[in-house]
Amino acid sequence: MSIKTFDLRNTFDPSEFYKTFDERKKTGKADVDNIVKDILQNVRLNGDKALFEYTSKFDGANLEECGFEVTAKEFDDAMASVPAELLVVIKNAASNIKSFHEKEKEESFEYVRKDGSSFGIKITPISKVGVYVPGGSAPLPSSVLMNIVPAKVAGVQEIIMCTPPNKQGLINPVILAAAVIAGVDRVFKVGGAQAIAAMAYGTESIPNVNKITGPGNAYVATAKGMVFGICGIDMIAGPSEILILADEKADVELVAADMLSQAEHDKMAASVLITPNEQFAKDVIIAAEKQLENLSRKDIAKSSFDNYGAVILVDDIKRGAEISNYIAPEHLELFVENVNDIIDSIQNAGAIFCGKWSPEPMGDYYCGTNHILPTNGTAKFSSPLGVWDFIKRTSVINYSRSGFLKDCNEAALFASAEGLDAHEKSIRMRSFSK
């Protein structure tokens, strides 16, 4: 296992590291774009026929007889097959997520002027949402909860979910159980870019939706970007990433474990340690190498570390925070003696985990915050998935006559300055009306 080390002590030029990190965003993009364009066009033109072909090709499942939609019996069988203890855990996690996201709810507002004119915002839930849940080598019931629960809190009327089947044409029962607990309306056995196309355009079996949310691989992320405008999307998520800002008093074994917690996601995941202490960094690398040998997904984690693992040595924690703000990591752990000394310096991160007792996996599963987070530096301008992703804000304008007459002349002058005669006329005609 090899982790690149970048010594940025006594220098303010981190360009070599930035170049390495930024190249990760571009890997294989052109090839993916071309494949996804073909899939989207095929599904748009041929509907279910294209979906059957892709499900057979990519998932090895023949669904032409049973169709794509999960049946009531399949839901019942899933609930019966999941261990009772795990069902309790999923229900408790869903409750935590609901409690947290209820605090994000927005309310319509209105303010009324003395002349009787009123202006405000009307909050309306999006009526129909499609949720994508990845399949891959590990089931992710946590992603089911993170998508559906905030949508339910927001008041979305209809929530459908797409997720890839196994070769027998079945969905992992834990995924289905989580969907039932979260409150899904319908589930379809379709994965990949073809699932995004189906939810965006609609097919004979799968309804089109107003917005698509949820993480996925490069093909799913690319497809979401390409259908934006036909429907809304939450974000274009890239591979997972963690940045740990640590001083020499941090626990070496725990820091190593937390880096590996992201590296095991996939070979494109990035795990970065920033520290002012060189010996501490060396100790973390040694600890990670030892822990790696006991992981069931050690080959994936090793590839991740070899390709995108990094240690950055800095003069002090403050400088480390500056570099972290440039990277804008999905997950940021502050493994420092006094979190309060540094947290105000952090401007860009999807989620911040404070201190020894707040490891990143707690956010993945249980504490209630959302684990669908901005990646690839997009935390500079975007936020975690939340209730706000499932609502619309509509402006409401209600002038009284006296209020209009008070404002109309200046508004008409504005229209005239922009050379929009019809706008000006629309305003001025009313000034003579009773």
Same domain, 251 and 265: yes
Of the residues 173, 207, 233, which one is the last residue of a structural domain?
233
Indicate whether 338 belongs to any domain.
yes
Distance CA 422, CA 381 (A): 37
Total domains in the fold of the chain: 3
Q: 3-state class of 121 per DSSP?
A: strand
Q: Are residues 180 and 62 in the same domain?
A: yes
* Per-residue pLDDT at 259 exceeds 90: yes
The distance from CA 21 to its chain's CA centroid, rounded to whole angstroms, is 20
CA torsion, ordered 139, 85, 100, 143, to nearest 10 deg? 10
How confident is the model at residue 12, as a pLDDT? 65
Q: Is the predicted pLDDT of residue 25 greater than 70, yes or no?
A: no
pLDDT at res. 26: 63
Q: Which helix (H) or strand (E) holds 211?
A: strand 211-213
Confidence of residue 16 (pLDDT cuts 50, 70, 90): confident
Tell me: pLDDT of 28 over 60.
Answer: no
Residue 137 has pLDDT above 70, yes or no: no
The answer as to whether 391 is a domain residue is no
3-state secondary structure of 270: strand
Among 106, 112, 105, 104, which Cα is nearest to 396's?
Answer: 112
Q: Are residues 177 and 150 in the same domain?
A: yes
Structure tokens at 144: 């089911």
* 123 & 191 share domain: yes
Do 166 and 283 lie in a common domain? no
pLDDT band at 3 (very low <50, low <70, confident <90, very high): confident
Cα distance between residue 34 and residue 30, in whole Å:
7
Q: Which long-range contacts (CB under 8 A, 24 or more apart) does 426-434 make?
A: 430/404, 431/405
Residue 239's pLDDT is 87
Q: What is the pTM of this model?
A: 0.93
d(CA 163, CA 189): 5
**Shared domain check, 359 and 319:** yes
In a domain, 282, yes or no: yes
Instruction: Note whether residue 389 is domain-resident.
Output: no
Residues 187-217 as b/e (b if ≥16 CB within 10 A, e otherwise) read bbbbbbbbbbbbbbbbbebbebbbbbbbbbb
Q: State percent of the chain over pLDDT 70.
A: 96
Mean pLDDT along residues 332-356: 96
Work out the percent of the chain whose per-residue pLDDT is above 90. Answer: 87
Answer yes or no: is 394 within a domain.
no
Give the domain range for residue 94. Answer: 47-233
The pLDDT-based confidence of 398 (bands split at 50, 70, 90) is: very high
Closest Cα partner for 75 from 203, 167, 189, 154?
189
User: What distance in Å separates the CA atoms of residue 33 and residue 219, rounded to the nearest whole number?
Assistant: 8
Task: Give the pLDDT confidence of 346-385 residue by residue, as tens digits.
Answer: 999 999 999 999 999 999 999 999 999 999 999 999 999 9
- Look at residue 136 and tell me if it is in a domain: yes
Q: What is the CATH number of the domain that holds 209?
A: 3.40.50.1980
CB 332 within 8 A of CB 340: no
Answer whether residue 41 is part of any domain: no
Do 163 and 140 fall into the same domain?
yes
What SS3 state is found at 352?
A: strand
Per the CB < 8 A criterion, the answer to whether 63 and 220 are in contact is no
Q: What pairing do the DSSP bridges indicate for beta strands 241-246 and 232-233?
A: unpaired
Last residue of a domain, one of 233, 262, 284: 233
pLDDT at position 403 is 96
Of 181, 198, 233, which marks where a domain is finished?
233
Q: Is residue 64 annotated as part of the catalytic site, yes or no?
A: no
pLDDT at 273: 97
Report residue 19's pLDDT band, with 50, 70 and 90 as the boundaries.
confident
Same domain, 273 and 354: yes
DSSP per-residue letters across 322-349: HHHHHH--SEEEEESS-GGGTGGG----
Q: Which of 27-31, 115-119, 146-150, 214-218 has the lowest mean pLDDT?
A: 27-31
Stretch 163-173: mean pLDDT = 95
Q: Give CA–CA dist 165/82, Å, rounded.
A: 17
Query: ∠ at Cα 76 (74, 82), nearest 5°?
Result: 100
Q: Please tell me whether residues 285 and 212 are part of one structural domain.
A: no
Q: Pick the catalytic residue: 331, 360, 371, 424?
A: 331
Mean pLDDT value of segment 132-143: 85
Contacts of residue 292, defined as CB under 8 A and 6 or more positions apart, other chains included, come to: 1, 260, 298, 301, 302, 305
**Mean pLDDT of the chain, nearest integer:** 94
Closest CA to 29 of 221, 196, 195, 191: 221
Residue 320 within any structural domain of the chain? yes
Assess whether pLDDT exceeds 70 at residue 428. yes
Catalytic residue among 330, 333, 360, 424: 330
Pair (215, 248) in one structural domain? no
172 with 149, same domain?
yes
Asked if residue 242 and residue 216 are part of one domain, the reply reads: no
Q: What's the pLDDT tens digit per position in 62-83?
A: 999 899 999 999 999 999 999 9
Active site residue 74: no
